Amino acid sequence: MSDSRQSEVAVLGAGVSGIYQIKRLVDLGIDAVVLEAENDLGGTWHRNRYPGCRFDSESYTYGYSFSKELLDEWHWKERFSSQPENLRYLNYVADKFDLRRHMRFNKRVERMAWDESEHRWHLSLADGDTHTARFVVTSLGPLSAATLPAYPGMDEFEGPSFHTFFWPNEPVELAGKRVGVIGTGATGIQVIGEIADKVSELKVFQRRPNWSTPLNNSPISESEMDAIRDRYDEIFANCAASPQGFEHVPRWGFWDMTAAERRELWDELYTRSGFAILAGNFAEIFVDEAANREMSEYIADRIRQRVHDPAVAEKLIPTDHGFGLQRLPLETDYFEAYNRPNVELVDLSQTPIERLTATGIQTADRHYDLDLIVYATGFDAITGAFDRVDIRGVDGTSLGEKWRDGPSTYCGLLSHGFPNMAMVAGPQSVSGSTNFPRAIEGGVDWVTGLLEYLREHGYSRVEAQPEAEQEWVDEVMRFHERLLFRRSKGWFTGYNSNVAGHEEGNVRYQAYFGGATRYTAKVTELAANGYPGLTMA
The residues that touch ligand NAP, with contacts defined as CB under 6 A, are 54-56, 143, 149, 182-188, 190, 207-208, 327, 348, 376-379, 491, 497-498
Residue of this chain nearest to ligand NAP (CB atom): 185
Nearer to ligand NAP, 183 or 407 (CB): 183
**Min dist. Cβ of residue 377 to ligand NAP (A):** 4
Q: Exposed/middle/buried for 263, CB within 10 Å: 0-12, 13-18, 19+?
A: middle
| Nearest-approach distance from CB 526 to ligand NAP, in angstroms | 27
Q: Give φ, ψ of 247 to 5 degrees.
A: -80, -20
Q: Which is nearer to ligand NAP, 497 or 506 (CB)?
A: 497
As measured in angstroms, the least distance from the Cβ of 17 to ligand NAP is: 15
Residue nearer to ligand NAP on the CB measure, 147 or 520: 147
Bridge partners (DSSP) listed for residue 330 = 213
Q: What is the 3-state secondary structure (H, E, C) of 459-504?
A: CCCEEECHHHHHHHHHHHHHHHHHCHHHHCCCHHHCCCCCCCCCCC
- Please say which residue, 62 or 531, places its beta carbon nearer to ligand NAP: 62
Strand 360-363 with 367-369, pairing? antiparallel
Least gap, CB of 198 to ligand NAP (angstroms)? 19
CA distance 274 to 85: 18
On whether the CB atoms of residues 131 and 113 are closer than 8 A, the answer is no
Residue 200 and residue 370 in contact, taking contact as beta carbons nearer than 8 Å:
no
Minimum gap (Å) between residue 407 Cβ and ligand NAP? 18
Q: d(Cα 205, Cα 222) in Å, to the nearest integer? A: 41
We find the least distance from the C-beta atom of residue 474 to ligand NAP, in angstroms, to be 26
d(CA 141, CA 388) in angstroms, rounded, equals 12
Residue placing its CB nearer to ligand NAP in the complex, 211 or 491:
491
Q: Which has the closest alpha carbon to 429: 411, 447, 444?
A: 411
SS3 of 250, please? coil
344 SS3 class: strand
**Strand, coil or helix: what is 379?**
strand
Cβ distance to ligand NAP smaller for residue 59 or 184? 184
Which residue, 321 or 416, is less far from ligand NAP as judged by CB? 321
Neighbours of 67 (CB within 10 A): 15
Q: Which is nearer to ligand NAP, 181 or 295 (CB)?
A: 181
For the bound state, the minimum distance from the C-beta of residue 454 to ligand NAP, rounded and expressed in Å, comes to: 33
Shortest Å, Cβ 190 to ligand NAP: 6
User: Smallest distance from the beta carbon of 432 to ligand NAP, in angstroms?
Assistant: 8
DSSP string, 298-343: HHHHHHHHH-SSHHHHHHTS-SSS-TTSSPPPEESSHHHHTTSTTE
**Closest to ligand NAP by CB, 208 or 461:** 208
User: CA quadruple 438, 236, 62, 287: dihedral positive or negative?
Assistant: positive
